[in-house]
Structure 1
Amino acid sequence: MIGRLNHIAIAVPDLAAAAARYAGPLGARVGVPQDLPEHGVTVIFVDLPNTRVELLHPLGAGSPIAGFLQRNPNGGIHHVCYEVDDIHAARDRLAGEGARILGDGTPRIGAHGKPVLFLHPGDFDGTLIELEQA
């Protein structure tokens, strides 16, 4: 059911410094910051030959990333995103197998302008999973 690895998301306490590390010492192509108020984050995508890294920073005090950074002040891997051909069919299949879909189960538009859903980390070996419509 899951397809290509779309990105690995890393929560960072300093977005500009993290972007500079990827662009400088690592020599990666780094995008521009994007505010996503509906998700409570500012993101920067780092393009790699085979996938992307998403640098996440809180956008406002109510951001879920703010809580993550309180527990992990140096930042860290937040989630892994996989593409699916049909996000509604994937949701229904996963829910039917007992997986917990976060939120109300309705896909929301993500950073790439495509529908996304998140799956509870307790159902996937402690890893928060994002599914994105391919």
Structure 2
Amino acid sequence: MIGRLNHIAIAVPDLAAASAKYRDLLGAKVGQPQALPEHGVTVVFVDTGNTKVELLEPLGEASPIAAFLAKNPAGGMHHICFEVPDIAAAAATLTQGGARVLGDGTPKTGAHGNPVLFLHPKDFDGTLIELEQVPA
């Protein structure tokens, strides 16, 4: 069902500082900040050639990333994202298998303009999983 690894997301307390580290110290190609109010985050994508690293900063105090950073003030890995060809079919298969889709189960538009869903970390060994539908 899952395709390639789309990105690994890292929650950071300071997006500009984290972006500078990836750009200046690691020599990575770093994109521009993108606010995603529907998700409560501002993101920057770091292109690693074979996948991406998504740096996440809270967008407002109600952001789920703010709660994550309250528990992990220095930041840390937040989720991993896998590509799927059909997000509705993937969600149906997963829920039939006992996995929980977070929220109301309706895909939201992600940072790449594609539908995304998140799966409960307790169902995947403590790891929050994002599924992103990508065009075939």
Q: TM-score of the superposition, structure 1-length normalised?
A: 1.00
The residue aligned with 2:2 is 2
> How far has the Cα of 1:89 moved from its partner?
0.1
The equivalent residue for 2:130 is 130
Any unmatched runs of 5+ in structure 1?
A: none
Equivalent residue, structure 1, for 2:38: 38
CA distance in 1, matches of 2:5, 2:71: 26
1:28 correspondence with 2:28 = yes
TM-score normalised by structure 2 residue count: 0.98
Instruction: Write the distance in 2 (CA, Å) between the matches of 1:102 and 1:21.
Output: 32
Identity value in percent: 73
How far the C-alpha of 1:74 sits from its partner, in A, is: 0.2
How far off its partner does 1:79 sit?
A: 0.1
2:102 partner SS: coil
Q: State the distance in 1 between where 2:108 and 2:13 align.
A: 25
CA shift for structure 1 position 14? 0.5
**One-letter code of the match for 1:72?**
N
In 2, the alpha carbon distance for the partners of 1:35 and 1:63 equals: 12
Instruction: Report what 1:69 is aligned to.
Output: 69
Offset of 1:96 from its aligned partner?
A: 0.4
Cα distance in structure 2, aligned partners of 1:100 and 1:38 = 21
Q: Could you say what secondary structure the match of 1:125 adopts?
A: coil
Matches within 5 A, 1:1-134: 1-134=1-134
Match for 1:53: what amino acid?
V
Q: Deviations over 1:18-68 (max 9, x none)?
A: 000000010000000000000000000001110000000000000000000
SS of alignment partner, residue 106 of structure 1? coil
In 2, the alpha carbon distance for the partners of 1:72 and 1:48 equals 25
Contiguous gaps of at least 5 residues in structure 2: none
SS at match of 2:13: coil
What's the offset of the Cα at 1:72? 0.1
Deviation above 6 Å: which 4+ runs of structure 1?
A: none
What amino acid maps onto 1:127 in structure 2?
T
> What is the one-letter code of the residue matched to 2:34?
Q
Instruction: Provide the alpha-carbon RMSD of the alignment.
Output: 0.3
